[in-house]
């Protein structure tokens, strides 16, 4: 093996995050501050002891089964959670590929604001999402709304952060993500295993996001980061013996085919702000989608606008009520998405990059 393809060792040297038993127990029990739990403190202590055992022994995926036929290592023990997530994606892909089925659009409300928790009011993004949904439904498109505000208002609804496995080696990033759930670290309730099939079955995606400090909302960014596995991710965790970084580096260096799991879907984006940053946010979201080989729906389907420019936040919904132009523009973007989806299915909207692959994959 030449130096050019020699598999490097993973770099290590960061301080350990391992907790002492006392610190772990205190953190675990901190979720039960309500005095109503006082009557069951002894039982909670027993549960904490079991949780400590799983934590200190690293039982990330305590329930597994053999991978079976179709995998590089049929005898590898795969998490049953990952197997279920993979099956959901395969079923979603079958629905997407069925030309007899309906055209489907995924609408994403990227705002965290909701009346069901503080701040006690719906978001303008939600209202714009509903405007787009109305147009798509009228065009005969089957719609599904992904409301990322649920991350802030619904019990146990979480998207855990991306661990950046792809930056160590492409093959280490599994499709779907196998980083979660991690039961030993208490990293459960991960929403992404429900979200991945939503993206896969969709023929078109409509994203509405506010501008938060010159960026998308934190909720939307969590989802964006966790979709890295949809663009070049490894569909066979047994190929890398799970999360073995050196094996994954060797697999990548041997030649990685970089599967584009969401390529060919069409998209529209609406970014709205109040003072600054809307254009940059719209561009960053659209560029991300195009980098995954999704197709822009049309010239009017990528919008950045200001609603209530430098006006009080308290009257921002009133500003949206008055701004009939942005509402009309969202309707046009949704109509262009519907037309692009129909044209794509009919073969009238061709992807011009077929058979072409740039010299740099990422």
The pairing of strands 295-296 and 302-306 is unpaired
Q: Is the Cβ–Cβ distance between 78 and 238 less than 8 Å?
A: yes
Q: Which residue has the tokens 């409509």?
A: 206
**Tens digits of residue pLDDT in 123-177:** 999 999 999 999 999 999 999 999 999 999 999 999 999 999 999 999 999 999 9
Q: Which residue has the tokens 């509402």?
A: 327
Dihedral angle sign, alpha carbons of residues 113, 119, 124, 127: positive
Averaged confidence pLDDT in the chain: 96
Q: Is the pLDDT of residue 213 over 70?
A: yes
Q: Is the pLDDT of residue 2 over 50?
A: no
pLDDT confidence band for 182 (50 / 70 / 90): very high
Domains (range + CATH), the chain = 64-346 (3.40.50.360)
pLDDT confidence band for 348 (50 / 70 / 90): very high
Q: Is the pLDDT of residue 359 over 90?
A: no
DSSP sequence for 160-204:
PPP--GGGT-GGGSBSS--S--BGGGTB--BTHHHHHHHHHH-SE
Q: Which residue has the tokens 């909701």?
A: 114
Mean pLDDT across 76-86: 98
Buried b (16+ CB within 10 A) or exposed e, 207-220: bbbbbbeeebbebb
Tokens of 111: 């705002």
């Amino acid at each position: 093996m030449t130096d050019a393809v020699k598999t490097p060792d993973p770099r290590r040297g960061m301080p350990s995050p391992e907790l002492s038993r006392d610190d772990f127990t205190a953190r675990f029990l901190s979720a039960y501050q309500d005095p109503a739990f006082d009557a069951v403190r002894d039982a909670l202590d027993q549960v904490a002891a079991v949780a400590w055992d799983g934590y200190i022994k690293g039982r990330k995926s305590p329930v597994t089964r053999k991978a079976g036929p179709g995998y590089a290592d049929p005898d590898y023990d795969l998490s049953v959670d990952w197997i279920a997530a993979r099956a959901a994606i395969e079923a979603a892909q079958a629905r997407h590929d069925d030309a007899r089925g309906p055209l489907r659009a995924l609408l994403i409300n990227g705002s965290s604001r909701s009346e069901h928790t503080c701040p006690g009011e719906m978001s303008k993004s939600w209202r714009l999402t509903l405007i787009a949904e109305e147009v798509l439904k009228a065009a005969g498109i089957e719609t599904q709304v992904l409301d990322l505000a649920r991350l802030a208002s619904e019990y146990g609804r979480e998207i855990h952060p991306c661990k950046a496995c792809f930056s160590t080696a492409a093959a280490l990033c599994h499709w779907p993500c196998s980083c979660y759930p991690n039961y030993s670290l208490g990293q459960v309730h991960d929403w992404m295993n429900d979200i991945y099939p939503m993206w896969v079955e969709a023929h078109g995606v409509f994203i509405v996001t506010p501008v938060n400090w010159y960026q998308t909302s934190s909720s939307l960014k969590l989802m964006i980061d966790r979709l890295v596995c949809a663009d070049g991710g490894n569909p066979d965790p047994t190929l890398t013996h799970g999360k073995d970084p050196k094996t994954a580096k060797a697999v990548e260096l041997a030649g990685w085919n970089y599967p584009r799991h969401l390529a060919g879907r069409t998209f529209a984006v609406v970014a709205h702000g109040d003072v600054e940053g809307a254009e940059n946010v719209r561009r960053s979201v659209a560029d991300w989608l195009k980098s995954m080989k999704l197709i822009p729906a049309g010239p009017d389907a990528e919008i950045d606008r200001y609603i209530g420019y430098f006006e009080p936040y308290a009257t921002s919904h009133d500003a949206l009520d008055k701004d009939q132009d942005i509402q009309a523009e969202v309707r046009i973007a949704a109509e262009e998405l519907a037309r692009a989806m129909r044209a794509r299915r009919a073969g009238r909207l061709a992807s011009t990059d077929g058979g072409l692959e740039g010299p740099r994959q990422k």
